[in-house]
Structure 1
Amino acid sequence: MDDNDRSIAGFTMAGHALVHWFETSIPIFLVVWLAEFDVSVALLGLVVALGYAPFGLGALPGGILADRYGTKRLILACLAGMSLAFFVLALASSIYAIAVGLLLWGVAASVYHPAGLSLISTGVEDRGTVFAWHGIAGNVGIALGPFVAATLLIVLEWQLVAAILAVPGLFALVYGVTAEFDPTGAVDDDVDAGSSTALSASEFVTNSRALFASAFAVVFVVVTFEGLYYRGMLTYLPEILHGLPAMGDLVLPAELEGIEPADYIYVGLLVVGMAGQYVGGKLTDRIPPARGLAGLFAVLAVLAVAFVPVTSMGLAAIAALCGVFGFFLFAIQPFYQNAVAVYTPPDTRGLSYGYTYLGEFGLGAASIAIAGYVLDGFSLAAFFVLIAGFAVAGGLLSAALAAGLDRYFDAEQSLEASADD
């Protein structure tokens, strides 16, 4: 990598790690907020959904803003907004203030992925290497966010912990302001890397219509079901683990008083998820995306149902299931990312990924409210059956795609998909 590549890599890695640092720390706070504000799981789930929904819903406008105002400027605004949101949470004294802080975080975080990926695609010559390190940085943030939050909550009030979590965002903001690089350094050598001209309204409508008249329409629904599964499980699993008999029966030495084993099991599954994402990425070179998605959705459905009996077992069984679950939860992500590339034409690839994040993080956030209602009014088993249902739906659509459903869409798309498979 040259100096420009390294500078962009450092800047985007910091941004990607921090987006997920904040994102995955929120479920740890959910456990504390339930006790602090004495609200129902359903109400708090709706509040948390207000934060997570804009994270995905803002992906499309985020891409347009990145083209219009520049990727570096937008990422800096993202870092500043996310840090400010967590300072708002630190000052919150009511569930309404929590909602404001989470909403601010969701809006700020939503612009990162389209801006960060666009910056890499237009500014970096060695894109493959930088994309790899960019993904690793995101995984580090996914694991460290809840780990640091859970550890600090042992000795500090949650308001102070929220403020401390905001500090790295400020350091990254200062680093980003001083970072120097050419955001279009690779454009001259690669005409497909992108351009600085934003889509017009008519082009946006035309390209969107073409996408959803192709097999991408099925991929979009598949990704949405994966998002419903992902967000529902990761949001409520810390709270569910805290309430299990195995956690209450565990007697820790006096020097470990205050440590919550449930939080570290949750962090552990996120760490295992790094291995899952790596293995999934390697397998995308060998297994057609639709076939891989169908198989992995089947595994995820079984794992969700397996939580029903295992939650009444001992700590070792729970930890083992969480580890396996974490591996497969993240192993599926490279497959749907590859499916987008296989079932879309190159000239709409950026728009395709914008819609992908809308389905994954935006529409997927609906499961927070739905699953919160189920947890509050029904049994724990009903929650896991609901989550398994999302995987079954995604798996059936993936199997249909693998069986040739794409043949009923645009012929050129079908040819491209067949060639890549």
Structure 2
Amino acid sequence: MIICVGVVVEHVNRNDREIVALVMLAHGMVHTYELSIPIFVAIWLNGYATIDLGLTAIPVTTASLGVMVGLGFALFGLGALPGGVLVDRIGSKRLIVACLLGMAGSFVLLAAAPNLVVVALALIVWGAAASVYHPAGLRLISTGVEERGTGFAYHGIAGNLGIGFGPFLTALLLLFFDWHLVAGVLAIPALLAAVLATRADFEEQAAVAAADGGTGDDAAAVDADADDKAGTGVSSFGEFVSQSKHLFAGGFALVFALVMFSGLYYRGVTTFLPDLLGNVIGIEPVPISSLLPAALVPGSAAAAPTLDVELYVYAGLLTIGVFGQYVGGKLTDRIRTERGLIAGFGALAVVAVAFLPVASLGVGPLLAICALLGFFLFMVQPFYQATVAEYTPAGLRGLSYGFTYLGVFGVGALGGAIAGFVLAVADSTALFTVLAGFAAAAALLGVTLLRRRPTLA
């Protein structure tokens, strides 16, 4: 991943190159850990019978695990708001380094977890540490990178490389090692990334003069005092309340509602997708002995591990998102972001409705519908990231991205719990119907933004 970072940012200016390289590295790490967690969920479902809380024990089901994992994912979003406030005060680099160190520590704790209660604690630590990244990284791109759309595109590509690489590496290691050991090994990349991040050298506000965000459609909704604070953010609780009211007085309120539905769809579809691919659609494990020469098979042929194909289909689906991120990021510089949101979420609604019927037709249709899901699931992200920049001033960019990822990953964390509950009381068809509703609601909000935009200028 580090080599890829160096290659794709070679042609931009030095400051842009330093910033883009840092955010690509950190973004890849964040999503490496985030999307490795559902791989472990499939193991915890089969490996534990109860969650022992001391005074009582809760049976392990999709619903209970959905809530448990949702605690960490909720903090991933809830912490984005204080992270956004903090980044406007102290800058992005320090928070990004802290994020990487915290994520490494959380996976060390996960490796040592003797039961699911400690697993939940480790996920909470991960969520708190990872939560500061998106407001820090996206604020850095929006104020420091002159080619902002391209910066968002490369940032998204790196995230999707991590999204695909994390599940793939986790599934590969789990073929041969216990999940505790795998969690410990996964802590190492974040430690190395933190060391590299401390060496980055750049100007965080280099692009503010060229693209200060103050001419966006909601500039009138934020008073002149906010513009005077470009790069300084809010300094008191009263000012936080005041500036938050200004943000939500205009179109940003609609953007916030849209990203909440995006988060519900994202978390709802990814949390249990590995389990759905294996159990509902019926992908059978493949013995390693059938793929390797006998001399390379670990142990006896009868005791050799099996390849859980659904985990690699899941990883491949997420990796396809690289193309979605790139296309979405490039298009933000060419078309109205609202139009991109409408098209992307409309496509996600159609994919949700079609997913199970198409997947049941065979391997080819299954791979095709998974590819479409992966592409559109991540294509919408650069569009809403760029939309936030258009509807907010540079001085409150960290705060606005904090609210954005409060919606995406904080409120969105309910998507995992909702998915687990729906699977527990109904079936996968009901789940994908609910997901289609989330996407349709986001598309309608995009239509509303497009219609209202001329009146917001």
TM-score by length of 1: 0.88
1:181 to 201, 204, 209: 201
- The structural deviation recorded for 1:183 is 4.5
Count, aligned residues: 408
- The structural deviation recorded for 1:40 is 0.5
Q: Percent identity?
A: 51
What is aligned with 2:246?
A: 210
Unaligned runs of 5+ in 2: 1-11, 50-59, 214-229, 293-304
Task: State yes or no: 1:36 paired with 2:47.
Answer: yes
Q: CA RMSD in A?
A: 2.6
Do the aligned partners of 1:122 and 1:183 also contact (CA within 8 Å) in 2? no
Q: What amino acid sits opposite 2:206 in the alignment?
A: A
Task: State yes or no: 1:100 paired with 2:121.
Answer: yes
Deviations 1:157-180 (A, max 9, x none): 111111111110111122233x15
Question: What is the alpha-carbon distance in structure 2 between the residues aligned to residue 315 and residue 232 of structure 1?
Answer: 23
2:319 to 271, 276, 284: 271
What is aligned with 2:163?
A: 142
What is aligned with 2:266?
A: 230
Q: What amino acid sits opposite 1:152 in the alignment?
A: L
What is aligned with 2:24?
A: 13
TM-score by length of 2: 0.82
Q: What amino acid sits opposite 2:266 in the alignment?
A: Y
Give the secondary-structure state (helix, strand or coil) at the position aligned to 1:332. helix
Give the secondary-structure state (helix, strand or coil) at the position aligned to 2:241. helix
Task: State yes or no: 1:388 paired with 2:436.
Answer: yes
What is aligned with 1:81?
A: 102
Do the aligned partners of 1:244 and 1:311 also contact (CA within 8 Å) in 2? no
Q: Please show how residues 9-408 of structure 1 align to structure 2 within 5 Å.
A: 9-38=20-49, 39-121=60-142, 130-177=151-198, 179-184=199-204, 186=206, 192=212, 194-196=230-232, 198-248=234-284, 254-255=290-291, 258-345=306-393, 348-402=396-450, 404-405=451-452
- Structure-2 change in CA distance of 1:2 and 1:280 (3 Å): closer
- Structure-2 change in CA distance of 1:67 and 1:391 (3 Å): closer
- The structural deviation recorded for 1:4 is 5.1
Considering fraction of residues, name the structure with more helix. Answer: 1
Deviations 1:252-285 (A, max 9, x none): 7623652111111111111211112222233334
- The structural deviation recorded for 1:204 is 1.9
- The structural deviation recorded for 1:2 is 5.6
- The structural deviation recorded for 1:316 is 2.2
Deviations 1:190-217 (A, max 9, x none): 6949424644323322221122121221
Deviations 1:338-390 (A, max 9, x none): 33234445554443222111111111111111111111121111111111111
Unaligned runs of 5+ in 1: 417-421
Deviations 1:302-361 (A, max 9, x none): 211212323433222211110111111112222222332344455544432221111111
What is aligned with 2:218?
A: none
- The structural deviation recorded for 1:29 is 0.9
Q: What amino acid sits opposite 1:51 in the alignment?
A: G
- Structure-2 change in CA distance of 1:266 and 1:171 (3 Å): same
Do the aligned partners of 1:218 and 1:397 also contact (CA within 8 Å) in 2? yes
Do the aligned partners of 2:134 and 2:401 also contact (CA within 8 Å) in 1? no
What is aligned with 1:419?
A: none
Do the aligned partners of 1:18 and 1:141 also contact (CA within 8 Å) in 2? yes
Give the secondary-structure state (helix, strand or coil) at the position aligned to 1:48. helix
